[in-house]
Homo-oligomer: A and B are copies of this chain.
Amino acid sequence: MTPSSASVAHASNNDFYADNEKLYVATDCIVFGFDEGDLKLLIFKRRVEPDSGIWSLIGSFVQLDEDVNDAARRVLKEITGLDEIFLEQSKTYGKADRDPGYRCLSVAHYALIRIDDYDKELVESHGAYWYTLKDLPKLALDHDQMVADALSKLRRKARQQPIGFELLPEKFTIPQLQQLYEAIYQRELDPRNFRKKVLSLKVLVKLEEKDKSGSKRGAFLYRFDAEKYQELLESGYNFEI
């Protein structure tokens, strides 16, 4: 019954939890999407008591036989219908009083999804909606902090690798890519320098098609070269837009 592994049974003070005590572990997902030039977040509103009407991140308990990151993937699949998306651990929130009434810690994960891929009906059936970051309502518990932390991780991540591709549709224009980075960094970028920089990475493949939704003239569509992108990652290059 008593754990025996070296990982925990070593410090002098290794109390185990009493039989009637329990510590819950949950995971919450900060789901980012990009649409109409804005970074969006998938949040959901409880429709039944208790806490009906309160907005929060999507999440779930970690089951006893389940890896923590699998729990996050399960939540994402349940709500968006999507599999195999970018998902990374953000941070663990472990304040003893973070959830009133009982002890529960949450391992937050952030996900990036292509906003045109997800299962719209499934999302709505769960009471989940996309919110622009700026218009975000107050969220439950420490979820506001989770969002702030995930956003700052996303920003750092975006500097290290061309993460934008996870958030854009397969074909995209350079101005669209720029809009995404502007949304992530929350500042304007020079379109001429942005184009120069992004093309210098040699990970974009120019297509023959144009996208005319953004301007009269239209802009050429690009897709990214998965192979060269991989090389770039492995070289340890810093994207630094």
Contacts and interface: CB of A to CB of B under 8 A. Distances in A.
Interface string A39-65: 000001010001100101111111111
Interface string A201-218: 000000000000000000
B67 A96 contact: yes
A24 B8 contact: yes
A84 interface: no
Interface stretch (A68-76, A175-183, A220-228): A68-76
Nearest to A7: B141
Interface stretch (A14-22, A165-173, A188-196): A14-22
Contacts of A13: 60, 74, 78
23 contacts: A3-B101, A3-B102, A3-B104, A5-B99, A5-B104, A6-B54, A7-B56, A7-B59, A7-B99, A7-B140, A8-B60, A8-B61, A8-B104, A10-B58, A11-B59, A12-B78, A12-B126, A13-B60, A17-B64, A62-B94, A67-B94, A92-B92, A94-B107
B92 A23 contact: no
Contacts of A10: 44, 46, 56, 58-60
Interface string A91-105: 110111001111111
Given A7-B56, A66-B96, A89-B91, 11 more contacts: A3-B24, A4-B101, A5-B100, A8-B24, A14-B61, A17-B24, A21-B64, A25-B105, A65-B103, A68-B105, A105-B107
Q: Is the interface of A mostly helix, strand, loop or mixed?
A: loop
Nearest to A28: B7
Interface in A82-121: 89, 91-92, 94-96, 99-107
How many copies of this chain sit in the oligomeric assembly?
A: 2
Contacts of A21: 64
A91 B21 CA distance: 25
A30 interface: no
A32 to B, nearest CB: 19
